[in-house]
Amino acid sequence: MSPAPQTKWRLWSHSEIRLAVTAGLALGFTTATGLPFGYYAALAVLAAMGQTYGSSLELGRQRVLGTLLGAALLLLFCRGLAGIPMPLAIALALGLLRLLGGLLRLQVGYKVGGMVLVMGWLVHNTELTSWLPLRLGWTVFGILISLICLRLFWPSSAVQAAWQGWSELFWPLAEALDEPARPAAAIGQLRRRLMGQRAALVAIRDELGGAGTRHPMLKLLAEFDETSSRLISLLQVRPFSPAAAQLHAAEAALLAAFGERLRLWVTLLQPVGARGARGMPAAPPTPFVAPQTWRLLDQQLSSGQLLHVPLDLGGLKRDAARLQLCRQAVAAFERVELHWRQDQGILGTPA
Amino acid sequence: MNPELLRKSLKLTVAAFITAAIAIYFERIEFVWYPLLAVVIVVDDDDEKTVAAARGRILGTITGGLVTFLVHTVLDGWIGVLVSILLMVPVLRMLGWQSGLSTAALVSILFLMIPSHAALNWNYVFNRALDTTVGCAVALVVGLWMWPRNRLTLLARSEADLRGRFADQLSAYRAWCMGQAARPRPLAPAPITAALERMDSWLQLERRGPHRRQLQQLRWPQRLQLWSRWYLCWLQWERLLQELGPGPVLLQSLEALQTPPRRERARSDAAALILCWHQLALQSESPLAVLAVAAELEPLLAYRRSLALLPPLP
């Protein structure tokens, strides 16, 4: 079983063909309408068509807000600063635009505003009343057509990308759990993948209509995050003391069981990570059960038997932290799968 | 007003002013918007991204210009743009210039869709590439030379932010121990991990930069390593703490983590504190949970001592 299909080298990827065809068709349509400045629709397609529907929503929002901000400053300064030399006037307007864009938290939108300002000031200053509404209209049209194409042609959603992304994190994590003595670089790579998944949450929230954290998908993703974080941390904490052979064996069995379970999760996530799939991934058919050796040890620990063994407190203390963290990881696994099964009933399995 | 935002705004103002002045001086006013657009796009929040954006802009303009020039001999209008974009994609990927795709496509639209640019020839392509290069060059000079981003300041600010986060969380736990507030939620790992990653990337960049010596003097490599280890222990400690209730030993430990350690007695104080935890474990109904918290507290106290020994930041 492989974690993810290997990507073959292609002359064009689906997303590139989609981008080129959408921009081309947008241009074709705007040309056919006979209205001027239709190329701004294609420029909006190029700028707003992100990798997923969710990321495009945010890019589109920023582009519209940036265009409005640029237009407002253009109207204000193009005539207001007419008395001072153009290089100084346009530079001041651009500086103010950057400042306002920053205050309004427009991460890329201020650049669009800058383009509106520059083009309106230097090229279209005699026709601002017609150019500005047309530019805004074509921009909105370009964004809408991008979003429609992202839904229609090789649909690409942030939610699907997230399922795929998590399965690409779980697979190497399972391998690391099989062989916990991993170099720091490999663990760093796992942590960066986890951070990548966290960064993708913004687009997912946008795609789910600004849903709060109570949305079942977001809840499941948050629990994936917590479980992965715990497992990555387990790879980094100090191992059991060499004398504790029983603990070593039980822990190795537990980590192997975690790895096995993560591989099962990958097989459940991959169908919903595929293009065109919908809904929540199917929950694991049976609940997670820790291996027998671990459960026996856990029972001993819970009944306090281990403390009657003549161990020095310092040595026991060293192992106690790891034991507790392993117990918490078991609880996290059980929790995530329980909620997964409960939420599956709400949103249904993949179509 | 956020000084970083002010710096970015001033940087864009100066770069735009110089670019427009150069265009007027060399009588290239007809296409002054071309280098100005390059400035708007290239001047970025992060100086390291400015270089990448300039590279993408210049290479995208050249590729877009060349491909569109070839296509326009056969096709025109929107079909020409569509074919140009389709051809650019593999060319840019083969050359490793994917970041230039949007610029290349923009060039194609400008050349093939705007009637005034219909007189497309080698001279036109060369001049627009030159205009872009001027805008990018000014953006780079202003960004990296006139107002270089002081990563040492950013590192210091990020460290202060980290200290503040942990200090606030320790205060919240103390309030909980004293019965003045509810148990605080554990610190969210995402912002701290991201901050540490960001600080590490700044450190790597500065190691190759002009502040190398200062970086060593302030012990930034050791400082960051200590913070990473501190955080890893903190994450585990906070998770383990969820199993315990409030108590005087915990309150004492929180105070030890929050107050700067007394240099001459730091080790013995820490050892005495750990002994208190051992005593507590022997009396507790869940000794493992208590010992686990003590186990992670020990390195936390050690990292706290090491951090206190580092030279103070200016």
Tens of pLDDT along B120-131?
667 777 777 788
Cβ-based burial of B250 (10 A; exposed 0-12, middle 13-18, buried ≥19) = buried
Nearest neighbour of A98 by CB, restricted to B12, B240, B281: B12
Nearest residue on chain B to A110, alpha-carbon basis: B40
Write the secondary structure of B160-186 as one string of H (helix), E (strand) and C (coil): HHHHHHHHHHHHHHHHHHCCCCCCCCC
Q: How confident is the model at residue A313 (pLDDT cuts 50, 70, 90)?
A: low
Q: Does the pLDDT at position A278 exceed 70?
A: no
What pLDDT is attached to residue A104? 86
Q: How confident is the model at residue B116 (pLDDT cuts 50, 70, 90)?
A: low
Each residue's pLDDT tens digit, A38-59: 889 998 998 888 778 888 888 8
Choosing among A29, A45, A46, A231, which should be mutated to test the B contact, i.e. which has the most B CBs within 10 A?
A: A46
Task: For residue A277, give the 3-state DSSP assignment.
Answer: coil
CB B39 within 8 Å of CB B52: no
- Count of the separate structural domains present in chain B: 2
Q: Hey, how many other C-beta atoms are within 10 angstroms of the C-beta on B258?
A: 15
The residue type of A5 is P
Does any domain span residue B92? yes
B141 and B164 fall within a common domain: no
CB B178 within 8 Å of CB B170: no
CA-based end-to-end distance of chain B? 22
Nearest residue on chain A to B293, alpha-carbon basis: A321
Distance (Å, whole) CA A100 – CA B6: 10
B202 and B259 fall within a common domain: yes
Q: How confident is the model at residue A166 (pLDDT cuts 50, 70, 90)?
A: very high
Q: In this structure, what DSSP letter does residue B238 have?
A: H
Q: Which of B102, B128, B146 is the last residue of a domain?
A: B146
What pLDDT is attached to residue A95? 93
Each residue's pLDDT tens digit, B260-291: 777 677 778 888 888 888 888 888 877 888 88
Please report, rounded to a whole number, the percentage of residues in chain A having pLDDT higher than 90: 29
Q: Which helix (H) or strand (E) holds A240?
A: none
Q: Does the pLDDT at position A160 exceed 90?
A: no
Q: Does the pLDDT at position A310 exceed 60?
A: no
B224 contacts in A (CB within 8 Å)? none
* Phi and psi, residue A213, nearest 5°: -75, -5
B37 and B131 fall within a common domain: yes
Nearest neighbour of A42 by CB, restricted to B81, B239, B240: B81
What pLDDT is attached to residue B253? 92
Does any domain span residue B314? no
What pLDDT is attached to residue A8? 57
Q: Does the pLDDT at position A170 exceed 80?
A: yes
B163 and B125 fall within a common domain: no
- Tell whether ipTM is more than 0.85: no
The residue type of B254 is L
Q: In this structure, what DSSP letter does residue B146 have?
A: I
Distance (Å, whole) CA A223 – CA A281: 14
Distance (Å, whole) CA B174 – CA B181: 9
> Is B14 in Cβ contact with A24 (below 8 Å)?
no
The residue type of A3 is P
Does any domain span residue B200? yes
> Is B106 in Cβ contact with A46 (below 8 Å)?
yes
Q: How confident is the model at residue A189 (pLDDT cuts 50, 70, 90)?
A: confident
From B223, B254, B237, B217, select the one nearest B160 (Cα to Cα): B223
Highest mean pLDDT among A249-258, B25-34, B148-157: A249-258
Each residue's pLDDT tens digit, A83-123: 889 899 999 999 999 999 988 888 778 888 999 999 999 88
Q: How confident is the model at residue B292 (pLDDT cuts 50, 70, 90)?
A: confident
Q: Does the pLDDT at position B176 exceed 60?
A: yes
From A189, A170, A324, A342, select the one nearest A260 (Cα to Cα): A170
The tokens describing A2, both together, are 């492989």
Distance (Å, whole) CA A104 – CA A69: 10
B187 and B62 fall within a common domain: no
Q: Does the pLDDT at position A214 exceed 80?
A: no
Q: Does the pLDDT at position B202 exceed 70?
A: yes
B109 contacts in A (CB within 8 Å)? 23, 27, 39, 42-43
Does any domain span residue B168? yes
> Is A12 in Cβ contact with B89 (below 8 Å)?
yes
B175 and B287 fall within a common domain: yes
Chain mean pLDDT for chain B: 84
B240 and B198 fall within a common domain: yes
Q: Does the pLDDT at position B171 exceed 90?
A: yes
Cβ-based burial of B189 (10 A; exposed 0-12, middle 13-18, buried ≥19) = buried
Which of A1-10, A213-222, A230-239, B233-242 is predicted least confidently?
A: A1-10
Distance (Å, whole) CA A338 – CA A227: 13
Distance (Å, whole) CA B101 – CA A15: 13
B80 and B26 fall within a common domain: yes
Q: Does the pLDDT at position B310 exceed 60?
A: yes
B97 and B48 fall within a common domain: yes
From B108, B88, B110, B103, select the one nearest B31 (Cα to Cα): B110
Q: Does the pLDDT at position A225 exceed 70?
A: yes
Q: What are the b/e assignments for B261-278, b being 16+ CB within 10 Å?
A: beeeebeebbeebbeebb
What pLDDT is attached to residue A99? 92
* Phi and psi, residue A350, nearest 5°: -60, 145
B11 and B123 fall within a common domain: yes
Does any domain span residue B179? yes
Which of A105-109, A253-257, B105-109 is predicted least confidently?
A: A105-109
Does any domain span residue B287? yes
CA A245 from centroid of its chain's CA atoms: 41
The tokens describing B28, both together, are 């290239």
> Is A43 in Cβ contact with B106 (below 8 Å)?
yes
What pLDDT is attached to residue A351? 41
Of the CA atoms within 13 Å of residue A24, those in its CB half-sphere come to: 18
DSSP H helices in chain A:
14-33, 39-48, 53-80, 86-103, 109-122, 128-152, 158-178, 184-199, 201-207, 216-236, 245-273, 292-302, 305-308, 313-347
Which of A153-162, A326-335, B44-53, B175-184 is predicted least confidently?
A: B44-53
CB B293 within 8 Å of CB B276: no
Q: In this structure, what DSSP letter does residue B141 have?
A: I
Q: Hey, how many other C-beta atoms are within 10 angstroms of the C-beta on A223?
A: 19
Nearest neighbour of A91 by CB, restricted to B17, B32, B281: B17
Distance (Å, whole) CA A90 – CA A97: 10
Q: Which of B111, B146, B181 is the last residue of a domain?
A: B146
> Is A96 in Cβ contact with B236 (below 8 Å)?
no
Domain that holds residue B218: 151-309
Mean pLDDT value across residues B147-171: 88
Q: How confident is the model at residue B250 (pLDDT cuts 50, 70, 90)?
A: very high
What pLDDT is attached to residue B47? 65
Q: Which of B129, B146, B163 is the last residue of a domain?
A: B146
Q: Does the pLDDT at position B117 exceed 70?
A: no
Q: What are the b/e assignments for A54-86, b being 16+ CB within 10 Å?
A: bbbbbbbebbbbbbbbbbbbbeebbeebeeeeb
B300 and B249 fall within a common domain: yes
Distance (Å, whole) CA A70 – CA A62: 12
B117 and B194 fall within a common domain: no
The tokens describing B25, both together, are 């001086």
